[in-house]
Amino acid sequence: MKLRFAKASAVALAACVLAGCQSNPSLYQWGSYQPQVYKHLNGESPNQQIADLEKDLQQMASAGKKPPPGFHAHLGMLYSAVGRNELVAAQFQEEKRLFPESATYMNRLLETMSKERN
């Protein structure tokens, strides 16, 4: 009887340990976002970074995943660096939509951008 209880306890303990090791799915699809930020900080060309981030966005959309915080803001900043100003505001607005806590900062960037245009 004690042996049966010991085996059952060992199996239950092993099940609990293995269940605790299961990782939760990621909230966001990171793609190449982090390496692109690193490349930007090292002064590499923004055109390739834009292409890589746009490709990541397409993959995320097809997989039904969400980009991480800052993704659209960074892409907007890269668009600004290459003079594609028509796309900057759309990226900042998307960042605000996905992450409302960024609204104050995104609004400030949009305001500054509109003042520079005028």
CA 48 to mean position of chain CA atoms = 18
36-94 pLDDT tens trace: 777 877 888 899 999 999 999 999 999 999 999 999 999 999 999 999 988 999 999 99
Are 81 and 43 in contact, with CB atoms under 8 Å apart?
Answer: no
Q: What is the pTM of this model?
A: 0.72
Enter the DSSP assignment of 27: S
pLDDT at site 19: 58
More confidently predicted of 86 and 24: 86
Element (H, E) at 56: helix 46-63
Dihedrals phi, psi of 6, to nearest 5 degrees: -65, -45
Q: What is the CATH number of domain 27-117?
A: 1.25.40
